[in-house]
Amino acid sequence: MKHKDILEPEISLLLETVYQKYHYDFRQYSEAHIRRRIMNRMAMSGLEDVSQMRSKILNDETFASRLLQDLSITVTEMFRDPGFYRSLRENVIPVLKTYPFIKIWHAGCSTGEEAYSMSIILQEEGLYDRTTIYATDFNQQALNKAKEGIFSNELMKEYTINYQLSGGKESFSGYYTSNYNNVIMNQSLKKNIVWANHNLVTDGVFAEVHLILCRNVLIYFERDLQNKVQALFYNSLINGGILCLGSKEGLRFTDLYEEYVELDKKQRIFKKKY
């Protein structure tokens, strides 16, 4: 056997070190995900083994912040999973319309693409002016990018298709201004978004909200942590509030399965019972 084995205790020790020194807690993240990102970083930085990486983390803050970026996933899209956004328009918007003011929590918003998608839908449905969107992430670098609202022009073709598939009827290009290789999202889409640093693993409830979106974040956690974060969501939602998860995420294995009704089973949209 030529290949050096990666042992769980070594990875545990590494994550413990990250937590003690930098206060980012990856200890209950999916083991397979962490292992893959660490292996990739080791190969890219020419490190021999995990213990060598551990001492680098202790002594080299630039390297440590690079590893934090590796472990935090920022892959996202506007109107990602158009079928979900179609269902949001059909099944969730009518519920939101019954409230005089609306608070939405977009947990794990990364670089903001889905928060902007939400702003667009709310504008089209005439709800934007009475809504506050809390868009949170623990990755400050990603949040800064989200706040800027500048995206690559190349992506707009795909996002336009997503938008149309999601039931959008306006001209998508009306929502941004092109500037060479980039586009900048309209100021009017940003004005009711509050970008804030919040870590789902270590931070608690900060508001009572009508709708939570947290899509493709929980898949990166092991079951116990998933349960803990689900409790945080449950405690943040008003009675009758709505929870939207990623297309492969659910409540079936959590303690809270009985506390919600399914609004759309396929698109993983749940309503907290009264």
Partner 1 sequence: MMQYEAIVVGVSSGGMNAMKVLFSILPKDFSIPVIIVQHVSSHSDNQWIKILNDKSDLYIKEADEKEKIEQGTAYIAPANYHLLIGKNKTFSLTVDERVNFARPSIDVLFESAAEVYKSKLIGVVLTGSNNDGTKGIKRIKEYGGLAIIQDPETAESAYMPASAITAVKADYILSLEDISYLLIQLGNGIKTYLT
**CA torsion 98→257→262→164, rounded to 10°?**
90
CA 67-68-70 angle, to 5 degrees, is 60
x/- string (CB under 8 A) for partner 1, residues 2-31? xx-xx-x---------------------xx
Judged by beta carbon, residue 5 or residue 48, the one nearer partner 1 is 5
Judged by beta carbon, residue 124 or residue 222, the one nearer partner 1 is 222
- The burial class, CB within 10 Å (0-12 / 13-18 / 19+), for 253 is exposed
Is residue 44 a contact point for partner 1 (CB under 8 A)? no
Contact 95, 124 (CB under 8 A): no
Residue count of the chain:
274
**Interface pick for partner 1 out of 75, 174, 181, 258 (rule CB under 8 A):** 75
Residues 118 and 88: their CA atoms lie apart, in Å, by 9
**CA torsion 85→89→93→94, rounded to 10°?**
-150
x/- string (CB under 8 A) for partner 1, residues 168-207? ----------------------------------------
x/- string (CB under 8 A) for partner 1, residues 87-116? ------------------------------
Judged by beta carbon, residue 102 or residue 115, the one nearer partner 1 is 115
DSSP one-letter code for 128: G
Residues 61 and 265: their CA atoms lie apart, in Å, by 44
Judged by beta carbon, residue 1 or residue 171, the one nearer partner 1 is 1
Judged by beta carbon, residue 7 or residue 261, the one nearer partner 1 is 7
Judged by beta carbon, residue 98 or residue 152, the one nearer partner 1 is 152
**Interface pick for partner 1 out of 21, 157, 223, 273 (rule CB under 8 A):** 223
Which of 78, 49, 90 lies closest to 176 in space, CA to CA? 78
Question: Near partner 1 by CB under 8 A, which window of 94-102, 142-150, 185-193, 212-220?
Answer: 212-220
DSSP one-letter code for 221: B
Q: How far is the CB of 102 from partner 1 (least distance, A)?
A: 27
Residues 163 and 170: their CA atoms lie apart, in Å, by 9
Is residue 160 a contact point for partner 1 (CB under 8 A)? no
Site of interaction with partner 1 (CB under 8 A): 1-3, 5-6, 8, 30-33, 35-36, 39, 73, 75, 216, 219-220, 222-223, 226, 246, 248-249, 253
